[in-house]
């Protein structure tokens, strides 16, 4: 339940292909509306920026109205507006920023710029609004330093969270992101876009050991990641598979299970090393679209257990909070980190905004 003393935030995220608006109060999500464009981009097999911009422009007003309505809030009750300024697709970011500026000006509310990646990272701190699903807030006196994993369609990073607002990037992908890799592999076997969730379902009925994917970057002691070799391996495997086998439903399930296992094995290999190198870590935080994957969560927990560490894996309370959404932007604002309050003529989109 929200504490009525906590400030009410209207948060907006249009960084990629989802138009999202949310109302948060403290850590509590009072509403979180997402207008997905997945259907529009399906035929391109990825996100087409100008199509995304147009769809954001069409959806943003109704999305914000729905978020306010679901939270039973009128604009005058808000304390502030928070908007994602990057990283993301420039034309898509622009729509959310301009809308937020206009809204803030019209209702004379302060406007805060938020980094989308900080949103994903802090999404584990979000709490549900209802009494029935009440969950205890992680104890912020005992969880730091934490190891954060941002595993999404655009990013794959290991982050040392020393405190809220104090982040150090330990490792990052050198090429594709983990979700992007799953999407590209899924496209090769016509699973549509995005493919991560479909691969997870098919993988449940497949053999993860049917095809042995390579383990990248074992020669390096750092915590960087690389997924493009896995994508190439998948393509080569399919190229040398007979047309008859490619039509075989069980082969596709085995292929999905093996590809997913390959992507996760690489993540887990580097994760285990990051844990070993940082014995001071008190908790692991998992955010981003791929964090919705139950197999990944299970494997992370078992890796933590194997290292004899009794530390929790924190995950967002709902899958909706894993994918792109605005509630995580409100939560990041509540963390009251190094966000800068901008006046409206200073707010610039930052498609390549860095983090940490
Ligand atoms: O966080 P997100 O919505 O967007 C970015 O900021 O990138 O992540 C989208 C990614 C896609 O690559 C999608 O395939 C993947 O998350 N994804 C999953 C699952 N659900 C979504 N990957 C694996 N298992 C899932 N269940
Ligand atoms: Zn994202």
What residues are in contact with ligand 1 under a 6 Å CB criterion? 16, 152-154, 179-180, 182-183, 194-197, 200, 288-290, 292-293, 323-324
H/E element, 84: strand 80-86
Which has the closest alpha carbon to 157: 144, 168, 146?
168
Most ligand 1 atoms within 8 A of CB, residue of 15, 189, 196, 353 to mutate: 196
In angstroms, what is the span from residue 189 Cα to ligand 2's centroid?
24
Instruction: Please state the separation of Cα 163 from the chain's center in Å.
Output: 20
- pLDDT value of residue 42: 72
Instruction: Please state the separation of Cα 196 from the chain's center in Å.
Output: 13
Which pairing describes strands 341-342 and 111-115: parallel, antiparallel, or unpaired?
antiparallel
Spatial contact of 233 and 214, defined as CB atoms under 8 Å apart = yes
Q: For the packed helices 178-188 and 249-277, what is the interaxial angle rounded to 10 degrees?
A: 170
Side-chain-side CA neighbours of residue 340 (13 Å): 7
Q: Tell me the mean pLDDT per 10 residues along the chain, length 356.
A: 86 95 97 86 74 90 97 96 95 96 94 95 95 72 96 97 95 97 97 95 98 96 97 98 97 98 98 96 98 98 90 96 98 75 69 86
Other beta carbons within 10 angstroms of residue 131's beta carbon come to 7
Which has the closest alpha carbon to 356: 93, 82, 147, 179?
147
Spatial contact of 355 and 332, defined as CB atoms under 8 Å apart = no
Which has the closest alpha carbon to 215: 176, 262, 249?
262
- pLDDT value of residue 1: 74
Spatial contact of 23 and 65, defined as CB atoms under 8 Å apart = no
Q: Extract the tokens encoding 133.
A: 């699903």
Q: What is the DSSP letter of 206?
A: S
CA 119-122-128 angle, to 5 degrees, is 100
Q: What is the DSSP letter of 132?
A: T
- pLDDT value of residue 340: 53
In angstroms, what is the span from residue 293 Cα to ligand 1's centroid?
9
- The distance in angstroms from the start CA to the end CA of the chain is 31
**d(C-alpha 50, C-alpha 287), whole Å:** 27
For residue 210, with 0-12 CB atoms within 10 Å meaning exposed, 13-18 middle and 19 or more buried, which class applies?
middle
At residue 81, φ and ψ (nearest 5 deg) are: -120, 135
Buried b (16+ CB within 10 A) or exposed e, 67-91: bbebbebeeeebebbbbbbbbbbeb
Most ligand 1 atoms within 8 A of CB, residue of 290, 291, 296, 300 to mutate: 290
Name every residue whose Cβ is closer than 8 Å to that of residue 58 and which is 6 or more positions away in sequence. Answer: none
At residue 173, φ and ψ (nearest 5 deg) are: -75, 145
* The ligand 1 atom nearest the CA atom of 319: 20
**Matching residue, tokens 């729905």:** 66
**d(C-alpha 57, C-alpha 113), whole Å:** 19
Give the residues across from 173 on adjacent strands. Answer: 225
pTM, rounded to two decimals: 0.94
Strands of 146-151's sheet in order across: 166-172, 156-163, 146-151, 283-287, 313-314
């Amino acid at each position: 339940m929200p504490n009525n003393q906590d400030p009410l935030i209207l948060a907006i995220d249009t960084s990629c292909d989802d138009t999202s608006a949310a109302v948060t109060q403290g850590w509590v999500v009072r509403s979180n509306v997402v207008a997905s464009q997945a259907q529009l981009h399906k035929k391109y097999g990825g996100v087409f920026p100008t199509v995304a911009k147009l769809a954001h422009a069409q959806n943003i007003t109704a999305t914000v109205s729905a978020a306010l309505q679901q939270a039973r809030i009128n604009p005058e009750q808000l304390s502030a507006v928070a908007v994602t300024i990057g990283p993301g697709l420039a034309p898509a970011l622009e729509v959310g920023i301009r809308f937020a500026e206009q809204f803030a000006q019209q209702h004379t509310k302060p406007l805060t710029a938020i980094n989308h990646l900080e949103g994903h990272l802090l999404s584990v701190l979000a709490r549900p609004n209802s009494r029935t699903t009440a969950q205890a807030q992680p104890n912020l006196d005992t969880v730091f330093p934490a190891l954060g994993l941002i595993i999404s369609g655009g990013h794959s990073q290991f982050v040392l969270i020393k405190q809220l607002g104090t982040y150090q990037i330990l490792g990052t992908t050198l090429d594709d992101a983990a979700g992007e890799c799953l999407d590209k592999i899924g496209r090769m076997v016509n699973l549509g876009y995005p493919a991560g969730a479909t691969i997870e379902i098919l993988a449940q009925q497949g053999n993860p050991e049917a095809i042995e994917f390579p383990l990248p970057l074992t020669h390096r002691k750092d915590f960087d990641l690389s997924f493009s070799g896995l994508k190439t391996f998948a393509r080569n495997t399919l190229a040398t598979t007979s047309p008859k086998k490619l039509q075989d439903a069980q082969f596709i399930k085995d292929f999905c299970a093996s590809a997913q296992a390959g992507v996760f094995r690489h993540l887990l290999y580097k994760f285990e090393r990051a844990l070993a190198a940082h014995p001071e870590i008190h908790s692991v935080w998992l955010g981003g679209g791929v964090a919705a994957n139950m197999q990944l969560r299970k494997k992370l927990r078992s890796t933590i257990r194997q290292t004899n560490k009794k530390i929790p894996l924190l995950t967002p309370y709902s899958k909706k909070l894993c994918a792109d959404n605005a509630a995580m932007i409100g939560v990041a604002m509540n963390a009251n980190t190094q966000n800068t309050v901008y006046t409206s003529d200073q707010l610039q989109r930052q498609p390549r905004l860095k983090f940490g």
